[in-house]
Structure 1
Amino acid sequence: MRLLAGVLGGMLAACSPPREDPSRLSVATMARLTHAPALTGLDSGRFADALAGVHLEPHAFEVGNAVVEAMFAREVDIAYLGPNPAINGFVRSGGNDVVILAGAAEGGSAFVVRGIASTEELRGKRIATPQIASTQDIALRSYLRAHDLAKDVTILPLATPILLTAFSRGEIDGAWVSEPLASQLLALDGARLLLDEASLWPEGRYPTTVVAVRRDYLKAAPEVVDRFVRAHAHEVRFIERHRAAGLDASVTAMRAIAGRQLDPAIAKAAWARIHFSTELPPGALPRLARDARGAGFLPQSALGGLVEPGPLERAP
């Protein structure tokens, strides 16, 4: 009986997920200006200082949906990502995994085109987004549905380098993207701004980047999460109050973390479209969820518990 109990105990242990380790924190971000609080916090060492005694592991990703998969695989604990991938992660996990802690960036998404003067002229065109079911992809699909163009426009999810090349070669007619890619496209010959997404939202406010955490990590290491959110809030306040210094620090961090060098004029133009806040614009997340459902990317589901406000409420 003891032997059997030992065997069963070993089997149960093997089947159980590994325990959370509060002495480590894996943080995901992307090399985009809309992720500036993460970039500056990591590159300056301020996040590491705020988390003294915790081993901080930064990870750079290209798209938000890949971040969610990494969170599901327990490879990432806290992440900066678009609100739609975060909502998708929450719903897919039945509310048991990805939850949002705070806002990070607002604005900074735009619809850039060439050879198109009006929405009606989108018929028959090829428009790119960063990834299928990304925040910008869903925004484009929602916009097209609202103008009865969903069946008349080809949508192509393209990675940033491919998207830039495709637009410059005339292989696509436009793209709905976030900064700094929007300003990089606008700098190309013949490009024009068809739409700033801010024009579609009350007071021009909509979330572009949020901070999310794995629920299991939050339960296991609430004090670590509180410390991180305090550090995040500090970065947001600094960047928003010292815009020029925040831009310089963000560009430097992008170069250090991802090896990406931004033209100063493009960086300045992109920065003007982005604002930083830990708050989430009222009603924004439910609307984004409705848009995702309308695009066929999200089942009907309740969003109760999507946001865990405690750590931000405790941040000074």
Structure 2
Amino acid sequence: MDGAWVPEPITTILKQQSNGKILVDERDLWPNGKFVTGNIIVRTDYLRDNPDVIKRLLQAHVDETLWINEKLLQSNDTKADEKNVSALTSAFNQSLKNLTGKTFPDVQLAEALSRIEFTTDPLSDSLLKIADDTDEFGYIKKGVNWDGDLQKLYDFTLLNEVLSEKGLQTIKS
């Protein structure tokens, strides 16, 4: 038996191109099905010296996340609006082509998007849990003040300003 623990859209690619099966959906392993896959991270000195730049980046991130979620909005709780998903896959592929010169087939992106939730919440608790698990399984060795240092990784000040200005729920630390 071959297996892989991979993120979307690789999961969908393996499923469609190699007749793969999803044995475990990662969402089933996390509270409310939510876990971190990526965060916006900036050096502390850059944040201190350029808060306006970072705030504009976060504003763009929030706007794009809202746009993506609007496109993925379920029309009847069982099926995504095909026109919106098509617009989203086209936009994603155009950006990917601009950056890499390559694209994914629309059918792969559409299926992958059905298993991805886009959020402005960094889901910091899940990153802390991942760190604990990797230590427990022996993949990393935690340092003396690991938990305290990892907690300092997140500063929600500017993100919460942006969310508040847009009338959205802020992130609790």
The answer to whether TM tops 0.5 is yes
CA distance, structure 1, for counterparts of residue 45 and residue 159 of structure 2: 18
Aligned pairs (5 A) from 1:143-182: 173-182=2-11
Q: Does 1:196 align with 2:25?
A: yes
Cα pair distance change 1:286/1:271, threshold 3 Å? same
Of structures 1 and 2, the larger Rg is shown by 1
Distance 2:94 2:151 in 1: 39
Q: Work out whether residues 65 and 120 of structure 2, in 8 Å CA contact, stay in contact via their aligned partners in 1.
A: yes
Q: Report what 1:311 is aligned to.
A: 158
Q: Match for residue 279 of structure 1?
A: 121
Residue of structure 2 in register with 1:297 after alignment: 140
Runs of 4+ with deviation above 3 angstroms: none
After superposition, the C-alpha distances for 1:90-143 in whole angstroms (9 at most, x for unaligned) are xxxxxxxxxxxxxxxxxxxxxxxxx4xxxxxxxxxxxxxxxxxxxxxxxxxxxx
Partner Cα separation in structure 1 for residue 141 and residue 47 of structure 2: 25
CA contact (8 A) 1:255 1:261 kept: yes
Q: CA deviation at 1:263?
A: 1.2
Unpaired stretches in structure 2, ≥5 consecutive residues = 73-84, 166-173
How many residues are aligned here?
145
Say if 1:282 and 1:210 are closer, same or farther in 2 by CA, change over 3 A. Answer: closer
Change in 2 beyond 3 A, CA 1:242/1:189: closer
* 1:258 CA drift (Å): 0.8
* Equivalent in the alignment of 1:205: 34
CA distance in 2, matches of 1:286, 1:210: 13
State the match for 1:231 in structure 2: 60
Identity of aligned residues (%): 29
More helix by share: 2
Q: 1: distance between equivalents of 2:24 and 2:135? A: 23
| Structure 1 unmatched runs, 5+ | 1-114, 116-172
- Please tell me the residue identity of whatever aligns with 1:309: F
Paired residue for 1:262?
104
Match of 1:247 in 2: 89
Q: What is the CA deviation profile of residues 264-300 of structure 1, one whole-angstrom value per residue up to 9, with x for unaligned ones?
A: 2111111111111111336212201102212332414
- The 1:282/1:229 distance shift into structure 2, 3 A limit, reads closer
- Given residue 34 of structure 2, which amino acid in structure 1 is its aligned partner? R
Distance in 2 between residues matched to 1:285 and 1:298, nearest whole Å: 16
Whole-angstrom distance in 2 between the partners of 1:234 and 1:201:
26
Equivalent residue letter for 2:130: L
Instruction: Judging by fraction of residues, say which structure has more strand.
Output: 1
Match of 1:221 in 2: 50
Q: 1:3-27: per-residue Cα shift (whole Å, max 9, x none)? A: xxxxxxxxxxxxxxxxxxxxxxxxx
Q: For the residues of structure 1 that align with 2:111 and 2:126, how far apart are their CA atoms?
A: 25
SS at match of 1:195: coil
With structure 1 as the length reference, what TM-score do the two structures score? 0.44
What RMSD, in angstroms, separates the aligned Cα atoms of the two structures? Answer: 1.6
